Amino acid sequence: MTRSILILLMLLSAVAWADDAQPVIDFGKDVKPILAEQCYACHRPEKQKNGLRLDVREDAMRGGDSGKAFAAGDVDNSLLIRLVSGLDEKRVMPPQGDRLTEAQIATLKAWVAQGAVWPDDLAGDAVVNVDHWAFKAPARPAAPAVNDVAWVRNPIDAFVLAQLEGLNIKPSPEADRETLVRRLHFDLIGIPPAPGEVDAFVNDTSPYAYESLVNRLLASPHFGERWGRYWLDMARYADSDGYEKDTGRPYAYRYRDWVIDALNRDLPYDQFVTEQLAGDLMPNAPEGAILATGFHRNTLTNREGGIDPEEDRCKQNVDRTNTTATIFLGLTMGCAQCHSHKYDPISQNEYYRFFGFFNTAMEKDVPAPTSGELLAYREAKARFDAQRAELQKSVDAYRAQLAETLPQWEGTIDVPEHGWNVLAPLSFASAAGSTFKQLEDQSILLTGDAPLHDKYTFVTRVKDLGIKSFRIETMTDPSLTKTGPGRANNGNFVVTEVTVFAAPWSDPLNQKQIGLKNAKAQFEQAGMEAALAIDGDSNTGWAIFRDSDTNQPNVLTFETTEDVGTPDGTIITVVIEQKYGRSHTIGRFRVSASQLPADTIQYSDAVYQALKTPADQRTDAHKNAILDYYASKDARMKELRAPLEGLLKAEPKPPATMAQAIVQNPNPPNTYIHIRGDFLQKGDEVTLGTPAILNPFRARGNKPDRLDLARWITDPANPLTARVQANRLWQFLFGRGLVGTPEDFGVRGEKPTHPELLDWLATELMARGWSTKEMIRLIVGSAAYRQASIDRPDLRDLDPENKLVARQNRYHVEAEIARDVTLAASGLLHAPVGGPSIRPKQAEGIAELAYAGSVKWVESPAPEKYRRGLYIFFQRTTPYPMLMTFDCPDSNVAVARRARSNTPLQALTLLNDPVFFECAQALAARTIAQGPADERERVRFAFRTCMGRQPSDAELDRLQKFMADQRAAFAASQDSAIAFAGNAPVLDDKTEAATYVALARVLMNLDEFTTRE
């Protein structure tokens, strides 16, 4: 025994000695060389295959798309060890070249087993540059001192001039007044000034003439249209869903109208942001705030058959995440969707924490009448109420008389023993797996996503004998689309077949089908009558759609071909098949039975119950139910009620205009990291939050939501929001931002050309209550803005992009404004603000290019078709060609800056497009009708109408020479003259009329016509 103990102690000592003797692995000497030799080729800064980087400790320990590379202390769960050891047959690392030696593998295993110690001094570069200028809150700098003090109109000029003087560059002189008035009109309202407006400003000697012009334009309702177009680019606004179906969105314009109105009201930018991100969550939300959440509904929606709804929902939320980051924070957050990157300030974990704010929301269409619709409805309703009250007086007076004779009538009637008995379900099942609730009134309410088709199985027990009739009540509910009663997008349903089975309670397997007959409904859709629900053919059915009254309760009754019921009780099974498709299934229903034929049941449930109740036990509801029934049978009452019922049929209905919105999901899903961005591959669960590199996030409670996110974004401590908006305002007034990448203020974006000026503008924006109009007034009031845009040879090499702001910039106006300018000059422009989108003339066959020719482009009538370009219906798959020719974005993603091109196709469009040709004809007619009789003065009139300024004598000479040449050509070809002149000009002489059309085409095709100087 003693010897055994000694041997055991010796063995234990040997084991302990062996453990103590195992060398400690040194990362720098032993591990890093292996990783550098075998792994860095694919997992280094420049190439992070599968999202894995191995030269930086933080990235290596985090792991890549496939999981953790190293699990400290756990060799078996360290993925890298498994792969280099060849334990995974499908993946061996490295994939090419020599494999690791047994000694190298043993070293890595030992290092992991010992805790994977990676010293701080070898941790590698930090993932994010925390000292990046944009991640620090802007500090308000003092305006720098300058030599040319007289040039400075406000602090903006001091910052611009200080840089110029540092390079011995002088700013450009102020533009002439004709240029300034046209520039301000283009920049602030997007409509050129009429010659009279140009003259008024040029001749105004008041020292406040410029400020007065600016104030007038900022107060114009067209300001919201001009600046709203900029915002709609970023909000990726469109009038259709996109994808294959590209279904139209008839109420999308309600968001566009909200944007225009908000800008016209100068809604503070922080409020502007908050209402769009979380207008549905704001306490004491302003009227219309829910419309602002339509911002989130601008994302594409896939309605193709066979799609995975969850996949589409995730794609939409990815877009909402990326868009929010881009336009409010100036960050390209989408880079972190699949995995983290070294140079990105946001990790994948942080991306999905941010994503979670939108993952907890759900789409909802809400009533949103326009102010005009609401006013008209209220006026009509007031007239209706007054008429109804007058007619109701007579009805109520006679009803009081009937109440005195009611006891006598009740003594003359026999109340049947049986009426309708509501059946309580023993069980209910949906073949499609729909979720449901059983409500207190014994009705079944279907919940969750609606399947394309379904079959309901309703099982109950009845004790009555001799059942002769059944009733199915379809009922409305606020949770259903348009309140139901069906689950289709219009509230309809189609019952393709109803079958009833009965079995004795004592022998439930002895079930037999009961024959049905005499099906009748409260309302039947044409061609889909009640009888088709019991005809044995599941390809036919009963439906209830009608233009105005679909969304109300309805009733289906049918009788049995034999009495149903057994003495010990009966199990009744009612099967409701709904095979029509497109979610035409019942949303809420209740089943009843009766021992009377359905046609003989003259009393409603309420009246029947009231009559069965002893007189001394009746409630007021019982008494009113009986009196109402008694009155309904009285001939005199019918006469009195006839005009009232006629009036009630004509009751004004609330406006049906809806708006797309989002609301918080009452049962929000959990949020997970999507491995490689794949929604099916869920990684770790994450809580909602914001990037740690920015200001701290504070939630109102323990469940953060979009309102918390909005308040974090608009927090003055956020280093990005005010900078991004200030840069955006500068960009739209100078053609280029102080940061040339407005969508990317991150480490890979451009640095600001004037960092102190940007910070001053950002702090000034917040100091001025986030007022957009105040900031625009400030910027356009600067000497920098008022400079001439004439090219400067002395700066072509030094500053070819005019980053120093030594002059103003000249550039073509955007697509929509090019159309607006042309319509304005022609006199055709129809300029009401807001309202539904329009469809102007376009070439045949364009709309039909959409999938299966499903898009129908019906040209809007005049004058609507001459509205501003902002209102053109934007069909994502087949957008209006003229807009795309002039670089309008496709509205699929947020666009912070439009591309600018100069192509022959643009010139050809201005010359030959049917709309622009019509405008040329209209301008010709306007010139002939409104201009002087003298030809030279008429040419001057047309020129000023198009360009605003006075033409030079040389320009007039050239244009008259052109007209003479055209006149001769048209005189020689009357067919061409007639085609050119069209019906617009007011001259009988087609040669002369066509000549003026040719003049108008030339003027409208000059570069100056669509150029903002």
pLDDT tens-digit profile of 472-525? 999 999 989 888 899 988 889 999 999 999 999 988 888 999 999 989 888 888
Same domain, 569 and 431: yes
> Which residues share a beta bridge with 659?
366
Q: Which is more confident, 590 or 8?
A: 590
Same domain, 498 and 573: yes
What pLDDT, on the 0 to 100 scale, is given for residue 129? 56
What pLDDT, on the 0 to 100 scale, is given for residue 271? 98
Residue 36: inside a domain: yes
Residue 939: inside a domain: yes
Mean pLDDT score, 138-152: 97
φ/ψ of residue 462, rounded to 5: -120, 145
pLDDT band at 51 (very low <50, low <70, confident <90, very high): confident
Residue 709: inside a domain: yes
What pLDDT, on the 0 to 100 scale, is given for residue 734? 98
Residue 51 near residue 676 (C-beta atoms within 8 A): yes
What pLDDT, on the 0 to 100 scale, is given for residue 545? 84
What pLDDT, on the 0 to 100 scale, is given for residue 84? 81
Mean pLDDT score, 913-929: 95
User: Is the preceding peptide bond at 119 cis, omega within 30 degrees of 0?
Assistant: no
Residue 883 near residue 850 (C-beta atoms within 8 A): no
Same domain, 432 and 569: yes
Return the closest-CA partner of residue 182 out of 192, 169, 173, 172.
Answer: 192
What pLDDT, on the 0 to 100 scale, is given for residue 842? 92
* Backbone torsion region of residue 537, taken as left when φ is above 0, otherwise alpha when ψ lies between -120 and 50, otherwise beta: beta
Residue 586: inside a domain: yes
Same domain, 446 and 548: yes
Same domain, 338 and 439: no
Average pLDDT over the chain, rounded to whole? 90
Residue 588 near residue 446 (C-beta atoms within 8 A): yes
What is the per-residue pLDDT across 853-897, written as a single tens digit (0 to 9) for each?
778 899 999 999 999 999 999 999 999 999 999 999 999 999 999
Q: Which is more confident, 637 or 577?
A: 577
pTM over 0.95: no
Q: Which of 550, 579, 602 is the last residue of a domain?
A: 602
Same domain, 361 and 433: no
The boundaries of the domain holding residue 692 are 267-368+662-719
Q: How far is CA 510 from CA 304, 593, 594, 722, in A?
A: 45, 21, 23, 76
Same domain, 30 and 103: yes
Element (H, E) at 85: none
Q: Which two tokens stand for residue 551?
A: 């969304």
Mean pLDDT score, 388-407: 87
What pLDDT, on the 0 to 100 scale, is given for residue 662? 96
What pLDDT, on the 0 to 100 scale, is given for residue 123? 67
Range with lowest mean pLDDT among 377-381, 399-403, 558-562: 399-403
Same domain, 331 and 448: no
The residue type of 255 is: Y
Element (H, E) at 683: strand 682-686
Same domain, 358 and 448: no
Q: Which two tokens stand for residue 549?
A: 């009254």
Same domain, 567 and 677: no
Residue where the block lists tokens 């109740």: 613
Range with lowest mean pLDDT among 657-661, 722-726, 846-850: 846-850
Is it the case that residue 657 has pLDDT exceeding 50?
yes
Residue 948 near residue 821 (C-beta atoms within 8 A): no
Same domain, 438 and 560: yes
What pLDDT, on the 0 to 100 scale, is given for residue 679? 92
Q: Which of 672, 698, 719 is the last residue of a domain?
A: 719
- How many domains are there within the chain? 4
First vs last Cα of the chain: how many Å apart?
107
Residue 272: inside a domain: yes
Is it the case that residue 5 has pLDDT exceeding 50?
no
pLDDT band at 8 (very low <50, low <70, confident <90, very high): very low
Mean pLDDT score, 1000-1007: 97
What is the per-residue pLDDT across 184-224, written as a single tens digit (0 to 9) for each?
999 999 999 999 999 999 999 999 999 999 999 999 999 99
What is the per-residue pLDDT across 246-269, written as a single tens digit (0 to 9) for each?
999 999 999 999 999 999 999 999
Mean pLDDT score, 127-142: 84
Q: Which of 676, 701, 719 is the last residue of a domain?
A: 719
